[in-house]
């Protein structure tokens, strides 16, 4: 069986479109976030909402890069893969590859962002907790 | 001098447009909220952010009605008037009239919503504080 | 078997939350629209994107009412039912009832909006085409 | 007098906030776009809407990088500078620096994106028209 990354299925909705008739590019960052939220439920085994509300952690983005390779229109569907590229002491680098559903060669967007683990009250950096590190490493192995 | 309501100037931006080439209708509710935020700064003399952060109050919407009379396109500008229609013990009814800037007869949207004053921690209803009631009533007189 | 309305499953995402820690109320109108888009695929048998792009029709909203009965937080899920309340010559009145998934008594939002069928190029009103009227009426019967 | 870049004044609004109580990071890309729209009116002397609607050009983003240095909260204000970093045959590289209004050292966000000039109907690349190139170069000189 092929190893592969988790991918969120995202459907471009009516309100995602801009005045040029294609997806407003900031919406891609929203798609990245939605995919990350689903990644937590599916691969880490805990809802992202619960990570924040129960564990009091947050993961603000400090760096972002993205390449937009194809236009998306209303009704288009993409699969947005979520990869764990790097796990530091307090930071995680995530990568995303989106392609048209059913057309793996039709890459729409590629990007990565660096998030820092913080305490949700003070916004001070904190070490990634051991349980999360283990889950992220296990996911990396499943994708390798 | 004519008495008149406060109006926020709003410019339709690129990302407000939907797949039909006009403003995505949920954005009008966003415009209502932005106008309300500016109303607080301009007419109540305190920033809405400060009302929430310092006084620990919030004003969630419990009822909304709106009529959409003209399409808006990218680059259009509207003036969005904010009226205080009714002040109850815990609720405020706001009304909004948006017209194309410079064309008072070209009404684009009319609506009103009912907000309830709550404690921001418990979300329990609370009485509108006396200082706010006085400011709202003074505004009503200025508009009458 | 109970007859029932189509319902879209909607999960509150991280970016839907406002400064009060609950769903920003304009997002509910976005949820209404997303549910309507899914309704077309599921119950009318044609994607909403295709209705617009192939048939050249649009359905701008001219009137909206909504009551917000419960707060929603990040991670909450709702089922948002779509009802066809009335079919005029050029207008359709849709109704929406959202409740917490798995808790039919926990109504979160109720609303309705009136949309007008227009030609997507001229934005002139046009009669609802016969094929769509039949599908909408058939849906009404399935829900009755 | 110091030469300086155009800057758009942006106020964080209630709905820009996410579940962590800070600006949802995709909103920064929206801020970039809003600043670009205002840049056209102020520095190029033509509304961005008019560029699209009259000249039939668009400028989709093909690459984006951003660093987020400070959190923003509801009510915060930033000045978002727009720089023209590079003008190619069909592409323009824009840079953005946002700092808290009145605190030039308090950099909030830095980023740049590459946009490609396209025909709005076919989405084929096209050369940047001479009139626009001249305006962009003149702006670069004013900032130098």
> What pLDDT does A138 receive?
97
- Chain C partners (3+ C-beta pairs within 8 A): A, B, D
> What pLDDT does D144 receive?
84
The whole-angstrom separation of Cα A104 and Cα B64 is 44
> What pLDDT does C144 receive?
84
Q: Are A89 and A127 in contact (CB under 8 A)?
A: yes
Q: Where are the domains of chain C?
A: 6-143
pLDDT tens string A48-76: 999 999 999 999 999 999 999 999 999 99
> What pLDDT does D1 receive?
42
pLDDT tens string B53-80: 999 999 999 999 999 999 999 999 999 9
Say yes or no for a CB contact (<8 Å) between B21 and A21. Answer: yes
Q: How confident is the model at residue B3 (pLDDT cuts 50, 70, 90)?
A: low
CB contact residues (below 8 A), chain A span 25-64, against chain C: 30, 33-34, 37, 47-50, 52-53
Of B33, B109, B104, B15, give the one whose Cα is nearest residue C60.
B109
Please give, rounded to a whole number of angstroms, the shortest distance from the CA of C108 to a CA of chain B. 10
Cα end-to-end distance, chain D, whole Å: 13
Burial class of residue C101 in the structure, from the number of CB atoms within 10 Å of its CB (0-12 exposed, 13-18 middle, 19+ buried): middle
Measured CA distances, C123 to B73, C127, C130 (Å): 13, 12, 19
Say yes or no for a CB contact (<8 Å) between D21 and C21. Answer: yes
pLDDT mean over C32-41:
98
Least CB–CB distance from C49: residue in A37, A49, A74: A74
* SS (HEC) of chain D: CCCCCEEEEEECCHHHECCCCCECCHHHHHHHHHHHHHHHHHHHCCCHHHHHHHHCEECCEEEEEEEECCCCCCCCEEEEEEEEEEECCCEEEEEEEEEECCCCCCEEEEEEEEEECEECCCCCECCCCHHHHHHHHHHHHHHC
Please give, rounded to a whole number of angstroms, the shortest distance from the CA of D1 to a CA of chain A. 34
> What pLDDT does D4 receive?
86
Q: Which residues of C touch D24 (CB under 8 A)?
A: 14-15
Indicate if the pLDDT at residue C107 is higher than 50.
Answer: yes
> What pLDDT does D105 receive?
92
Q: Are A50 and C74 in contact (CB under 8 A)?
A: no
Cβ of A15 under 8 Å from any chain C Cβ? Answer: yes
Whole-number mean pLDDT of chain C?
A: 95
Indicate if the pLDDT at residue B1 is higher than 70.
Answer: no
The DSSP output letter for C33 is: H
- Class at the top of the CATH hierarchy for domain C6-143: alpha beta
């Amino acid at each position: 069986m092929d190893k592969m990354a988790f991918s969120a299925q995202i459907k471009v909705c009516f309100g995602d479109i801009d005045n040029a008739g294609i997806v407003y590019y900031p919406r891609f960052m929203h798609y990245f976030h939605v995919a990350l939220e689903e990644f937590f439920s599916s691969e880490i085994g805990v809802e992202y909402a619960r990570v924040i509300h129960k564990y009091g952690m947050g993961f603000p983005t400090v760096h972002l890069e993205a390449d937009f390779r194809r236009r998306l229109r209303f009704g288009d569907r993409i699969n947005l893969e979520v990869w764990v590229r790097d796990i530091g002491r307090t930071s995680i680098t995530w990568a995303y590859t989106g392609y048209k559903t059913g057309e793996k060669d039709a890459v729409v967007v590629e990007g990565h962002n660096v998030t820092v683990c913080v305490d949700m009250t003070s916004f001070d950096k904190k070490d990634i907790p051991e349980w999360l590190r283990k889950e992220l490493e296990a996911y990396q192995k499943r994708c390798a």
